[in-house]
Amino acid sequence: MPENHPPIPTPKIGVLLVNLGTPDAAEAGAVRRYLAEFLSDPRVVEIPRIAWMPILHGIILRTRPSKSAHAYAQVWTAEGSPLAAITRRQAVALNGAFGPGVVLDYAMRYGRPAIADRLAALKAQGCERILVAPLYPQYCAATTATANDAAFAALATMRWQPALRTLPPYYDDPAYIAALATSVRESLAALDFEPDAVMASFHGMPQRTLELGDPYHCHCRKTARLLSDALGRELLVCFQSRFGRAKWLEPATDTMLAALPGKGVKRIALVAPGFSADCVETLEELSIRGRETFLAAGGTHFAALPCLNDSAAGIAMLETIIMRELEGWMRLP
Ligand SMILES: C=CC1=C(C)c2cc3[nH]c(cc4nc(cc5[nH]c(cc1n2)c(C)c5CCC(=O)O)C(CCC(=O)O)=C4C)c(C)c3C=C
Ligand SMILES: [Fe+2]
Ligand SMILES: [Fe+2]
């Protein structure tokens, strides 16, 4: 900028936190509606529609909703689904962090609040510039790209669009690694046992997606390596939540939990660095079923550590990575 350039008035800026989405209730009907939207997304299931739709509607949506509803019911809170409640708290905690000209909101890729609705609400409040922030540290087309697709699709319907930025993946960002290390160190110090091993469990995806060029697997591996360096201890990396018959990323978390006690690893702590908020995948699949698997195999001590959620370290990290994006839009008064 030339030195004597007059200050440019800063237009209002919106920040939209985006996470995956979750059912409205822990019952089969709500879970079916949610899964129908989620699993119809061609970014999530990359099988030709003509082959996939009969399987989805003929088999999956008839059988899975009641099983999943049972999983959701075990972790449901007074504020609703943990993922929704925590994402809401993250938006509240960040509100005001960037000054009076920056409005915070949140949306879900599937279900509510919808991305299109919240973008329209930010625009109606006068936000001419909006940062869409998918809260996935590791980029995956099935998560990051589809969240951005939904934002671009919403803008495609507007005559007068706001300017848009999207938050890049932050899997190797020093602020993210430091927040994870702080959180893991604090959680381990609060345990009443010393684990023989710490496992880092990431959400899986089909092996084919890696072969097609998705960087997710590499991002997960790099996060784990940097976190391991920061903690000064080895981390066992694994991938959870296998879905369908295709080969998914390995090693699988449940297989590893069942095998470790036989190898003398009887005390375990599990961290899920790829989830910015605790959800059914961490609270039910890891904390409840993972524990059962590990103890049934002969393990004696098990702990699933909390995600960053709205902890002080987690919020400070989000502030840092969001501020970095907003700086390009801000001007001194
Ligand atoms: C964090 C990254 C995630 C990736 C990558 C991902 C890929 C992926 N997921 C499915 C299928 C399901 N995932 C489900 C829940 C779920 N998934 C993520 C995150 C990622 N998914 C989160 C945060 C959640 C929790 C949602 C909540 O409400 O708490 C589910 C629903 C639950 C169930 O029925 O088991 C399914 C199904 C696929 C196919 C996929 C492919 C790349
Ligand atoms: Fe998933
Ligand atoms: Fe799961």
**Is any atom of ligand 1 closer than 6 Å to the C-beta of 108?**
no
What number of other Cβ atoms are within 10 A of residue 191's Cβ?
13
Ligand (nearest to CA of 83): 1
Describe the crossing of helices 115-124 and 146-155 by its angle, rounded to 10 degrees.
Answer: 50
Asked if the structure places residue 240 within a domain, the reply is: yes
Note the pLDDT of residue 9: 58
Rounded Cα distance between 66 and 278, Å, is 21
Ligand 2 centroid – CA 182 distance (Å): 26
**Is any atom of ligand 1 closer than 6 Å to the C-beta of 142?**
yes
Q: Are residues 289 and 321 part of one domain?
A: no
Asked if the structure places residue 7 within a domain, the reply is: no
Describe the crossing of helices 174-189 and 312-326 by its angle, rounded to 10 degrees.
Answer: 180
ipTM, interface predicted TM-score of the complex: 0.96
What number of other Cβ atoms are within 10 A of residue 185's Cβ?
14
Q: Are residues 297 and 207 part of one domain?
A: yes
Does 219 count as an annotated binding residue? no
Ligand 3 centroid – CA 122 distance (Å): 33
Q: Are residues 146 and 246 part of one domain?
A: no
Instruction: Give the closest residue (by CA) to ligand 1 atom 6.
Output: 203
**Is any atom of ligand 1 closer than 6 Å to the C-beta of 70?**
no
Q: Are residues 207 and 292 part of one domain?
A: yes
Asked if the structure places residue 6 within a domain, the reply is: no
Q: Are residues 198 and 133 part of one domain?
A: no
Cβ atoms 106, 113 nearer than 8 A: yes
Instruction: Give the closest residue (by CA) to ligand 1 atom 3.
Output: 203
Ligand 1 centroid – CA 224 distance (Å): 20
Mutation pick for ligand 1 pocket among 203, 245, 278, 308 (CB with most ligand atoms within 8 Å) = 203
Q: Are residues 194 and 181 part of one domain?
A: yes
DSSP state of 114: B
Q: Are residues 178 and 164 part of one domain?
A: no
Ligand 3 centroid – CA 128 distance (Å): 38
Q: What is the CA radius of gyration of the chain?
A: 21
Q: Are residues 199 and 134 part of one domain?
A: no
Q: Are residues 184 and 82 part of one domain?
A: no
Q: pTM score, two decimals?
A: 0.96
Instruction: Give the closest residue (by CA) to ligand 1 atom 20.
Output: 203
Asked if the structure places residue 295 within a domain, the reply is: yes
Does 3 count as an annotated binding residue? no
Could you report how far apart the first and last alpha carbons of the chain are, in Å?
15
Note the pLDDT of residue 8: 55
Asked if the structure places residue 203 within a domain, the reply is: yes
Rounded Cα distance between 83 and 71, Å, is 14
Asked if the structure places residue 227 within a domain, the reply is: yes
Q: Are residues 246 and 188 part of one domain?
A: yes
Cβ atoms 167, 52 nearer than 8 A: no
Rounded Cα distance between 207 and 105, Å, is 34
Note the pLDDT of residue 329: 87
Q: Are residues 218 and 72 part of one domain?
A: no
Ligand 2 centroid – CA 243 distance (Å): 8
- In DSSP terms, 268 is beta-bridged to 197, 302
Asked if the structure places residue 1 within a domain, the reply is: no
Q: How far is CA 187 from the centre of its chain?
A: 20
Asked if the structure places residue 3 within a domain, the reply is: no
Cβ atoms 228, 221 nearer than 8 A: no
Collapsed DSSP state (helix, strand, coil) of residue 79: coil
pLDDT by residue for the chain (333 residues), tens only, comes to 445 655 555 679 999 999 999 999 999 999 999 999 999 999 999 999 999 999 999 999 999 999 999 999 999 999 999 999 999 999 999 999 998 899 999 999 999 999 999 999 999 999 999 999 999 999 999 999 999 999 999 999 999 999 999 999 999 999 999 999 999 999 999 999 999 999 999 999 999 999 999 999 999 999 999 999 999 999 999 999 999 889 999 999 999 999 999 999 999 999 999 999 999 999 999 999 999 999 999 999 999 999 999 999 999 999 999 999 999 888 655
Rounded Cα distance between 74 and 72, Å, is 5
Domain span at residue 152?
12-169+313-329
For residue 24, which amino acid is it?
D
Ligand 1 atom index nearest CA of 275 = 1
CATH number reported for the structural domain that contains residue 96 in this entry: 3.40.50.1400
Q: Are residues 247 and 318 part of one domain?
A: no
Ligand (nearest to CA of 272): 1
Count: domains in the chain: 2
**Is any atom of ligand 1 closer than 6 Å to the C-beta of 240?**
no
**Is any atom of ligand 1 closer than 6 Å to the C-beta of 20?**
yes
**Is any atom of ligand 1 closer than 6 Å to the C-beta of 205?**
yes
Rounded Cα distance between 230 and 227, Å, is 5
Task: Give CA separation, 9 vs 16, 109, 160, 329, in Å.
Answer: 22, 33, 20, 11
Cβ atoms 17, 91 nearer than 8 A: yes
Instruction: Give the closest residue (by CA) to ligand 1 atom 11.
Output: 243
Rounded Cα distance between 87 and 108, Å, is 9
